Every structure is written in structure tokens, then in C-alpha cells.
Chains A and B, each alone.
Chain A
Amino acid sequence: ETGVTQTPRHLVMGMTNKKSLKCEQHLGHNAMYWYKQSAKKPLELMFVYNFKEQTENNSVPSRFSPECPNSSHLFLHLHTLQPEDSALYLCASRDRDPPNSPLHFGNGTRLTVT
């Protein structure tokens, strides 16, 4: 496996369910990110982890809970979501040296909340 891998690719869940999105990067990067892309809207940054430490929480509701057990894995735990949370969730990673190095994205998880 190379690059950034996200599972599952598609997820349908009810509002009372609990589910988790998984992301794994095989690039040796030291920073990982969660982005959300809703229909007709720009990508929105949700969370940033540097060396496993969360450094950014972009005012995300607590029903989204990230976890970064090591620099290669990132999870997004979901519980009691709302239909408006239906979106494409993208994981990305990058090496913070040089500081402006680009993001490498996974193919995303298409989430539908019913």
C-alpha cells in the first residue's frame, strides 16, 4: 500500500449509530488532517495532528471525535450525527519540513446520515 488510504469508502449510518472512519498514511509524514467537503462548499479543515498531538480543532462539534494513536494512523469517531453531517470526509497527511509542503489526500469516505 502506498499513499493515504481511507476506509470505508462509503458509509451509511443512522443518527443514533456510532461509527469510525480510518485513515492510514504510508508516506512517513508527521502531520495528519481531517477535512470535510459538503456539497457545493469548499473543503473545510476539521482537525490537525502534528506528531500525534492535536494542534487544531476548527470549531468542530463534539459529535466528531478524532484519535491519532501514532503518526501513521488517524481515526474519526462519529456518534449521534445529524443529516447535515452527510458529506465527503477526506484525510490528508504531509511532512512539515519544509513548512509549506503540500497535502497528500486519501480518496475519502462518503458519509450519509439517515
Chain B
Amino acid sequence: DQQVKQNSPSLSVQEGRISILNCDYTNSMFDYFLWYKKYPAEGPTFLISISSIKDKNEDGRFTVFLNKSAKHLSLHIVPSQPGDSAVYFCAASAQTSYDKVIFGPGTSLSVIP
């Protein structure tokens, strides 16, 4: 049973518009959440994270929102650029073991010029 879910396998967005990638989790023990980005033939790279004590974290064009009561987080990319086309993985971990990072299946984002 997947503890981290990304229900949209793919997403297409026009360049300049907002991309919203969603993630849901089931384990209430998770208290730290991360987003990774992966280009073909490369490993995932860390993008942005958020602790459960916050509901928003922003880094340039990227903002992550956390709704703990709904066990839901989202990644907003504004404005979207063609170079943002990649697979985005949501990941979660708990204070009991930050070594055990649980990943979602990923969402493939295509930004159309």
C-alpha cells in the first residue's frame, strides 16, 4: 500500500502559466516532506522541502504548500519554463527515522513553449 501518492502520472502546462503538482500521504507520522526533480538518464535532484510545522515554503519560482489536516501537499511552479519539463517526485519522512524516505510514483510535467 502506497504511503505517498501522486495521482496524476502526467501534466501538461503552457510556458508562463502555473504548474501545480499534487501529493497525498497516508502516514500521520510523516513530518518532513521533499520534492525531487528528475530528468531522463539522470538521478533525482532535491528541489524544495517543508517541515510539518509550516504550511508554506517558497524558493524562487517554486512554492510548496502543506495541508496537514488533509494530508496533502502541492508544488507550485510559477512561471513554468520549458526547462521545468521533468518527472517530479514527492517524498516524505518521519522524525523516527529520517533515513527512511518514502517516495511517490512521480508526475511527469511537460511545459509546452
Residues of A within 8 A of B (CB): 4, 6, 31, 33, 40-43, 45, 48, 50, 55-56, 90, 92, 96, 99-100, 102-108
Beyond A90-B44, A106-B43, A107-B41, 11 additional contacts (C-beta under 8 Å) are A4-B43, A42-B2, A42-B89, A43-B103, A45-B102, A48-B99, A90-B43, A100-B32, A102-B46, A102-B49, A108-B43
B43 and A100 form a contact (CB under 8 A): no
Q: A100-B32, A100-B93, A102-B49 are in contact. Are A42 and B43 (CB under 8 A)?
A: no
Interface contact A31-B99, CB-CB below 8 Å: yes
Whether A55 lies near B99 (C-beta < 8 A) is: yes
Chain B positions within 8 Å of A48 at CB level: 99-100
A66 to B43, CA, bound (A): 20
CB contact list, B24-72 vs A, under 8 A: 32, 34, 36, 41-46, 49, 51
Question: Which range holds the interface residue count of chain B?
Answer: 20 to 34
> In the bound complex, what is the Cα–Cα distance between A87 and B41 (angstroms)?
13
- Give the Cβ gap from A109 to chain B, nearest Cβ, in Å: 11
Question: Which residues on the B side are within 8 Å of A40 (C-beta)?
Answer: 105
Q: Which A residues are in CB contact (< 8 Å) with B105?
A: 40-42
Q: How far is the CA of A96 from the CA of B93 in the complex (A)?
A: 13
- Please indicate the chain A residues that have their CB under 8 angstroms from the CB of B95 in the complex: 99
Measured CB to CB, the closest approach of chain A to B39, in angstroms, equals: 10
| Chain B 60-106 residues near chain A, CB threshold 8 A | 89, 93, 95, 98-106
